[in-house]
Amino acid sequence: MKNCILGLLALWLTASSGFASESLFSVTTVNPYHFKNGKIVSFDYNQNSQAELFVYDFASDSKTLVPLYGTIKPYFLISAFNGVEIVYVNFNYTNKFYIDYHNIQTKESKRIVSDAAYKEFIWCASDKIVWIDYRNLGSTSTNSEVYSYNLATGAETRITNDTYYQANAVANGDYIAWVEYHNNQYGNIVLYNTTTAQTRFVDPVNFHQDKPILFGDYLVWEDYRNTGTDANNVDIYMYDIKNNAVREISTEPGYQSNPFIDESIILWDDYKNDNTDSDISAFDLNSNDYSSVAEKSAFEYIPQKQGTDYVWIEVANNVINFMHEVRTSSAVSELTSTVPSSIELAAYPNPFNPALNIQFSTQERPLDLSIYCVTGAKVYQLDLSQILPGQQTLQWRPYNLPSGNYYIKLITNSGQQTRKVMLIK
């Protein structure tokens, strides 16, 4: 048991490696939320089944209701939050869908978009709001457009002007991204540069793409290109805007959804080919390492992150909780800083069956090359007695092991490198 725990410590950044998650508060239903500056903004229902917008503050451990503009009580709300300012659409029985505003510091509340047409998918980043708007509805009921509003200047801008259905608009910096159903069958991710006013499809494939998220020069999304006969097989892909490169982040079997990116960390819900529960997985773009953020016998999903703070929703025993975990940069560096440029480790094909080729290159004689299962137990140790510095390729054939995820760890005097692989039988 001790060896299993030590193996797990070396491979994964989980609560058992010094990270302890805490339950913040409970809600009655799962709704979209936004996490910024140590605050969570979302809505819940009161005893009269009315939607109430709230702010939870980590520092004071308090949940405060946001005073809504006007007197009409909503049955549903969509909101966005940039850390100080909240924008929201009040869904009520008047069928008028305005965008209202509240500043949590100055307490100012006002209406900023007075057109009453149906709106959805609102997003707020810094001083920019984007949303999907139906005011230009034409002969087809799927005609929706992307709009933007500048909080600093009060200027409203129509971004798209076509007959297609647009969805899931997000913004960050100079970019706006959304899903466009250009053939009314599936949607592809579109990227718009607000400085150059140029629009382009990021990775136009004949398969659905959904839920884009932007951070800096990176764009991540859900991708259905590898679905095949399994409708629940959804992957996570990324686009490097600066280098114009598409990258697979997670293409394991099973449903992977709700991606989020902050700094170099990509998070997502991971069902691991099992719809009985979901976990939170992570990938570090700097170290190319995978890790597990939350892995319980429960539904854990919709992860978000800012700096060292991670939040997600956990549903267990019919109770819905917001969860929080602090992952310090010093603790994270224990995994990532031990990968010098002198160590290279690759494994292919991945997924594999029956054999995996393990290729590595070091400038010094390797000390250990072992393989671990998801519990952290060592399942195989390769013989390195005749291995010298340089590039080498070894083969692993796990005859008696079940299908699942495994971790290869290469250790030298200079550091270590880890790779995640999947065995499919």
pLDDT at 16: 35
Look up residue 201 and give its amino acid. Answer: F
Does residue 211 fall inside a structural domain?
A: yes
Dihedral angle sign, alpha carbons of residues 286, 291, 293, 299: positive
Does residue 3 fall inside a structural domain?
A: no
Does residue 7 fall inside a structural domain?
A: no
The residues facing 291 across adjacent strands are: 282
Burial of residue 112, with CB atoms counted within 10 A of its CB: 0-12 exposed, 13-18 middle, 19 or more buried: middle
**pTM for the whole thing?**
0.74
Where is the domain boundary, 308, 336, 364? Answer: 336
Q: Indicate whether 327 and 399 sit together in one domain.
A: no
Cβ atoms within 10 A of the Cβ of 377, count?
A: 14
- Dist. CA 386–CA 262, nearest whole Å: 43
- Dist. CA 234–CA 222, nearest whole Å: 7
Does residue 4 fall inside a structural domain?
A: no
pLDDT at 4: 36
Read off φ and ψ for residue 207, nearest 5 degrees: -145, 160
pLDDT at 373: 81
Q: Indicate whether 301 and 322 sit together in one domain.
A: yes
Q: Indicate whether 297 and 175 sit together in one domain.
A: yes
pLDDT at 173: 94
- In 3D space, the residue among 312, 282, 287 whose CA is nearest the CA of residue 300 turns out to be 312
Does residue 206 fall inside a structural domain?
A: yes
Provide the residue range defining the domain that includes 356. 343-423
Residue 349: cis peptide before it, omega within 30 degrees of 0: yes
Total count of domains within the chain: 2
Residue 351: cis peptide before it, omega within 30 degrees of 0: yes
Q: Residues in the chain with pLDDT < 70?
A: 1-20, 139-141, 184, 229-231, 273-275, 328-342, 374-375
Burial of residue 179, with CB atoms counted within 10 A of its CB: 0-12 exposed, 13-18 middle, 19 or more buried: buried
CB 310 within 8 A of CB 325: yes
Element containing residue 230 per DSSP (H, E)? none
**CATH at 52:** 2.120.10.30
DSSP 69-107: SSSPPPSEEEEEE-SSEEEEEEE-TT----EEEEETTT-
Does residue 2 fall inside a structural domain?
A: no
